[in-house]
Structure 1
């Protein structure tokens, strides 16, 4: 296998949260000892419940926020400790597509200026060359050159997401971090955008970090999947292996909740007991032990070590054999 394009090693990030007028400020453990690799040309997905740290992980990689500890390696270079000025040259290599395309597009700028802005910053193209490139990109994402004269509010959600994707493509990135890029769209539009992302990956040799809470969406687009719970990755595996043989009890519960389109088929739904613990007061030992049906005293006191149970299939659980 080739060298990873991106390597995240033991990354941690906490935030200070105001505990109220008469209480102390609390530390929220948003990302807790996260490690994974992404290889050139693949789609690696992070999936989990809202608040599990997926989006924070994406922002840390894109240097929008700085990790407390750990390392982020991109093309063999450690980037987590770079200054903003040093990071500027890497901005063209790592681009983001956000959940809310309207929120990430300046409403006062025409679409052609929005898409062309990265070219103005990162290249020496003339105005005419930039406009030609913008028209090419609009066509690439299924829009016409005439759309460039309009403003973001004149487009539907799906069209705005296409504009966001075109903007990310302008500087020929190597890695695109797609943070819930289809969650705000209708199901039929979701499929169109996912198909577009897959086609662009082939055409431009792109690598994706795809962030989502929707396991059916993740199944469509992923090569490998990391399952996050309370700021940590509890299971990583190739897509087919994860869906056929989930070994962490949290992964099994998530997959059991995915609806089946055939009304004649039924499957057992695994219901987790208890509430999701607060990231400002995470449980000791295994973070999942408060909701796990297989919990023992060992789970309550000892942090599990990730174990590779099959090629590329890594589980952070003391008893992965109990879910066979």
Structure 2
């Protein structure tokens, strides 16, 4: 039986959308009752359209934001109500790789200071030891000691992302939350960074939460995939099962949009009709009922719960 590293239990988070005087407060419902586990040593990918809540879910795990309801468990600890002081030793076990490889690096700091900064916060290493650690990590991600004396603007996008990955590895984390880490890179560079992630996972026994909107990218790195729509987790299963037998209509539409390299092959494209609901005013019942091609009467009344349709394959749909 696989050991659980992260577990979310019915997590909800909303953000205040309107602050106008004498006006009723309105909230954006970013996460709506999301529950899932991440097992040690695996890569769980979370996919979905922009605004579906996948990045907010990642930030809820490492408590960059506080949730409104539910529980977040990490390494058998309930960290839901941990203060900033209590989170300090936990943060060394979970690190982030951000989407923008330039915006996530301080332009005023040299690379040696950027990479070694987590060591300054979480360890008692000397300046010389921190420098040596930074040098070793840069070499692991494909850079060299000479790069330590440069600034972030002197690197390409792919090199900056390698620096961000090196910084995440400094404190030997158990979990890395990668939030769209290759979406800002060229396709050829994407492949290099994905391969680097896989090599580092084998070498350091890492666990990944890989957040992306690109199903063709997560196919190469994930073990399991969760699909989110308007703050709801609508389907989660092993990668092979999801691509072979998607059950939720939204997942089927996403997979049909993946381009095929062979122009001679024909692929049936599922075109979703209808409008995406306003996250401030979600529809009653299933959140996908405004765009679903198989909608039924109960879809307008009852929110479908995530249930096991097959071994290890969970889906939230009244059709299943």
TM exceeding 0.5: yes
Q: Distance in 2 between matches of 1:112 and 1:75?
A: 30
Which residue of structure 1 aligns with residue 280 of structure 2?
280
Deviation at 1:18, TM superposition (A): 1.9
Give structure 2 stretches of 5+ with no counterpart.
none
CA distance in 1, matches of 2:245, 2:23: 45
CA distance in 2, matches of 1:10, 1:21: 33
SS of the residue corresponding to residue 288 of structure 1 reads coil
Q: Secondary structure at the match of 1:119?
A: helix
Deviation at 1:281, TM superposition (A): 0.5
Name the TM-score, length of structure 2 as normaliser. 0.98
Q: Pick closer, same or farther for the CA change 1:23–1:273 going to 2, 3 Å.
A: farther
Q: 1:296 and 1:135 mapped to 2: Cα distance? A: 59
Partner residue in 1 for 2:73: 73
Aligned to 1:226: 226
Q: How far apart, in 1, do the equivalents of 2:116 and 2:151 lie? A: 14
> What TM-score comes out, normalization by structure 1 length?
0.97
Aligned-pair CA distance for 1:190: 0.3
Alpha-carbon distance in 2 for matches of 1:23, 1:290: 28
- State the 1:219 CA deviation: 0.6
Distance, in Å, in 1 between the alignment partners of 2:306 and 2:166 is 38
Structure 1 unaligned blocks of 5 or more: none
| Maintained 8 Å contact 2:233/2:306 | no
Aligned residues: 320
Instruction: Provide the C-alpha distance between the structure 1 equivalents of 2:43 and 2:37, rounded to a whole number of angstroms.
Output: 11
The aligned residue for residue 181 of structure 1 is 181
| Structure 1 counterpart of 2:100 | 100
Say whether 1:18 aligns with 2:18. yes
Q: Is residue 299 of structure 2 the alignment partner of residue 299 of structure 1? A: yes
Number of the residue aligned with 2:41:
41
Alignment partner, residue 28 of structure 1: 28
Secondary structure of 1:228's counterpart equals strand
Alignment of structure 1 residues 83-232 onto 2, 5 Å: 83-232=83-232
Looking at structure 2, the residues matched to 4 and 282 of structure 1 have their Cα atoms a distance apart, in angstroms, of: 32
Deviant stretches of 4+, over 4 Å: 19-23
